Amino acid sequence: QVRLVESGGGLVQPGESLRLSCAVSGPSADYYAIGWFRQAPGKERERVVCMTTSDGSTSYTDSVKGRFTSSRDNAKKILYLQMNSLKPEDTAIYYCATTNTPSGSWCGDVDYEYWGQGTQVTVAS
């Protein structure tokens, strides 16, 4: 019922920027939490940023603070991740996810029900 489709990934050099998009379709009701995750080869999936929609609070992982910014276009139902000053260690498959179940007290403590297929981001010289 809820579909998320990521786009915007690609190959860039260190220091360059990318903007990822996540198009959301399905019920028009707002979701409890929305987030971007990434997984690099041989590593665990990690949360990059998430937002608890009830109060608009946003939480970024330390490694991307000051470089990445998440935003939403509610009219178009698109979630964005603006990634600046990209580093090789940012290389990963990036996923967007959401949930409408408040299983935790904030966006970093919930089980995400709906996931996109992922988009590859590669940062290399």
CB–CB of 22/6 below 8 Å? yes
CA distance 99 to 120: 23
Q: What is the pLDDT of residues 57-104, one digit of tens each?
A: 999 999 999 999 999 988 888 999 999 999 999 999 999 999 988 888
Looking at residue 31, its pLDDT comes to: 83
Model confidence at 29, in pLDDT bands (50, 70, 90)?
low
Is pLDDT above 70 for 11? yes
Q: What is the pLDDT of residues 37-61, one digit of tens each?
A: 999 999 999 999 999 988 889 999 9
